[in-house]
Amino acid sequence: MKLYLASSSPRRAHMLADWGIPFSTVKADVDEVMLDAAPENCAAQNALAKAISGSHHVDAGLVVGVDTVVTCDGRILGKPLDEAQAREMLASLEGREHRVITAMAAVLMPEKTAAARISITRVFMRRLSEHERQAYLSNPEYRDKAGAYAVQGLAASFIERTDGPMDTIIGFTMSDFYALCTELHADVRR
């Protein structure tokens, strides 16, 4: 069965390629929402909207949409608009725990059957020196990342410990992907 990823994320594409899973990407015309609702609900709603949007470009196959949000004190930290906002986000995360939520939804075509999964990882970020913070923000890595950091990149040294799947933080929880494939009876390994 053909797999379609409704995401432009190079991280997600790289993970699938590393696992040897053939796929194509499809466009998902979705404006992500950051509602005042529970962060898990926002991530799930965004992931499902992406999968549904992507399914409009597919006759047959499995379309997967994913959304990752970072939350601290119940507040969603989206992608920073600029360096100043990224600095504020990092300051709110330093020296404490926050949660990274990755929701994944899949739509099986042509049946239009859908399923979703949510994974949560608790992340403990250490305090940063002003020099570390400035050095990190001088690199463009933070620009398209929820919470203004990428755990698989330069910010890896900021993380003291995690409780939950590391791939949830990266933005594509492989165990959830395989659970969705099983639930929808979609064999995408061929």
Q: How far apart are CA 148 and CA 164, in angstroms?
A: 20
Q: How many CB atoms lie within 10 A of CB 32?
A: 17
**Could you report the per-residue pLDDT of 90-122, keeping only the tens digit for each?**
999 999 999 999 999 999 999 999 999 999 999
What is the DSSP code (8-state) at residue 164?
Answer: S
Interior CA angle at 96 toward 90 and 102, to 5°?
70
Q: Is 90 exceeded by the pLDDT of residue 190?
A: no
Global confidence as pTM: 0.92
**Could you report the per-residue pLDDT of 173-183, keeping only the tens digit for each?**
999 999 999 99
Q: How many CB atoms lie within 10 A of CB 189?
A: 12
Q: Which positions are annotated as active-site residues?
A: 67
55: tokens are: 């399914």
**Could you report the per-residue pLDDT of 10-39, keeping only the tens digit for each?**
889 999 999 899 999 999 988 777 666 789
For each of the domains in the chain, give its residue range(s) and CATH number, in order of start: 3-183 (3.90.950.10)
